[in-house]
């Protein structure tokens, strides 16, 4: 089973920051938080990952709370092309076990 | 570097037939995972292969099988197709310097009539 909880859907106005929450209250010390997104009918795309420090790349920022029980993916200036399902996953690195996706959050960017 | 490729992209079969889907991972990646995606069940893990050996398996019936070749290319086979097997089948590879990040192919959309 997925170890994360995400809202099923969210709306965001185009040009505004999209903040997608994820709860992972049972996360262990060795588990990283990964985010992927899936645009309609395409394969999921890796966005970002982190352990406990905040991370930023060209696509997004990842904010992880100090207790690591939740995190927020931030798309700083959402565009219509960011409309997708966003998946939050927690897992240890260098583990051979399977990667399980939850239901994700369907993000609608409104023009 | 070329991404993950899957063939065919679209496929129509009838109940009772069998189907074979192919996945070529990113060069240098030794792990290939397969997922089934349907509107009702979301992304469900099928199995993962690493160095020609099945490393992990999801909760699917024995009609779903796979294999991996020495060049890391992988195939999955579904025998005795059922209507409920209609889905998007996704393949993902990982490896190289970052062993954790999965890179997905575009998927094969299978329709069973």
DSSP state for residue B16 in the 8-state scheme: T
Report phi then psi at B24, rounded to 5.
-110, 115
Residue B111 touches chain A, beta carbons under 8 Å: no
Give the residue among A103, A84, A73 at the shortest CA–CA distance from A45.
A84
Check whether the bond before A69 is cis (ω within 30° of 0). Answer: no
**Would you call A98 an interface residue with chain B, using a CB distance cutoff of 8 Å?**
yes
Mean pLDDT, range B68-83, rounded to an integer: 97
pLDDT digits (tens, 9 = 90+) for B92-106: 999 877 777 889 999
Residue A72 is encoded by which pair of tokens? 């927020």
What is the structure's pLDDT at A2?
63
Q: In which residue ranges of chain A is pLDDT below 70?
A: 1-2, 94-96
Q: What is the mean pLDDT of residues B87-91?
A: 96
Give Cβ neighbours of residue B96 (< 8 Å, ≥ 6 apart). B26, B28, B29
| pLDDT > 90 fraction of chain B, expressed in percent and rounded | 81
- Whether omega for the bond prior to residue B8 falls within 30 degrees of 0, making it cis, is yes
- The predicted model gives B24-35 an average pLDDT of 94
pLDDT at B1 over 70: no
SS3 A80: helix
Residue A84 exposed, middle or buried by CB count within 10 Å (0-12, 13-18, 19+): buried
What is the reported pLDDT for B39? 86
- pLDDT of A96 reads 67
Q: Are strands B5-7 and B19-24 parallel, antiparallel or unpaired?
A: antiparallel
Q: What is the pLDDT of residues B30-61, one digit of tens each?
A: 999 999 999 888 889 999 999 999 988 999 99
Instruction: Check residue B10 and give its pLDDT.
Output: 96
Phi-psi region of A104 (alpha: psi -120 to 50; beta: other; left: phi over 0): left
Q: What is the pLDDT of residue B96?
A: 78
Q: Look at residue B41 in the predicted model and tell me its pLDDT.
A: 84
Q: Give the residue from chain A lying closest to B56, CA to CA.
A: A98
Is A99 in contact with B45 (Cβ distance < 8 A)? Answer: yes
- Tell whether B33 is within 8 A of chain A (Cβ): yes
Tell me the chain B residues in contact with residue A100 when contact means C-beta distances shorter than 8 Å. 45
Decide if pLDDT at B76 tops 90: yes
**H-helix or E-strand spanning residue B53:** strand B53-57
Does B60 contact chain A (CB < 8 Å)?
A: no
B13 CB contacts (<8 Å, ≥6 apart)? B19, B81, B110, B111, B112, B113
Which residue, A8, A33, A18, is CA-closest to A83? A18
pLDDT of residue A1: 60
Q: Do A96 and B45 touch (CB under 8 A)?
A: no
């Amino acid at each position: 089973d997925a170890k994360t909880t995400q809202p099923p859907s969210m709306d965001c106005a185009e040009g505004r920051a999209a903040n997608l929450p994820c709860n992972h209250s049972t996360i262990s010390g060795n588990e990283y938080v990964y985010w992927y997104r899936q645009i309609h009918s395409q394969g999921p795309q890796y966005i970002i990952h982190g352990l406990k420090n905040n991370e930023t790349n060209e696509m997004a920022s990842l904010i992880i709370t100090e207790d690591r029980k939740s995190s927020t993916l931030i798309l700083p200036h959402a565009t219509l092309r960011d409309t997708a399902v966003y998946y939050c996953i927690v897992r240890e690195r260098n583990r051979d076990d399977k990667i399980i996706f939850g239901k994700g959050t369907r993000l609608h960017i409104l023009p | 570097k070329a991404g993950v490729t899957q063939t065919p992209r679209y496929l129509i079969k009838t109940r009772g037939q069998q189907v074979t889907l192919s996945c070529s991972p990113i060069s240098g990646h030794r792990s290939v995972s397969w997922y089934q995606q349907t509107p009702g069940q979301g992304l469900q893990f099928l199995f993962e292969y690493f160095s020609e050996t099945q490393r992990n398996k999801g909760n699917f019936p024995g009609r779903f099988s796979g294999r991996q070749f020495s060049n890391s290319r992988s195939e999955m086979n579904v025998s005795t197709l059922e209507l409920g097997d209609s889905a998007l089948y996704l393949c993902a590879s990982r490896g190289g310097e970052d062993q954790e990040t999965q890179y997905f192919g575009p998927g094969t959309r299978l329709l069973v009539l």
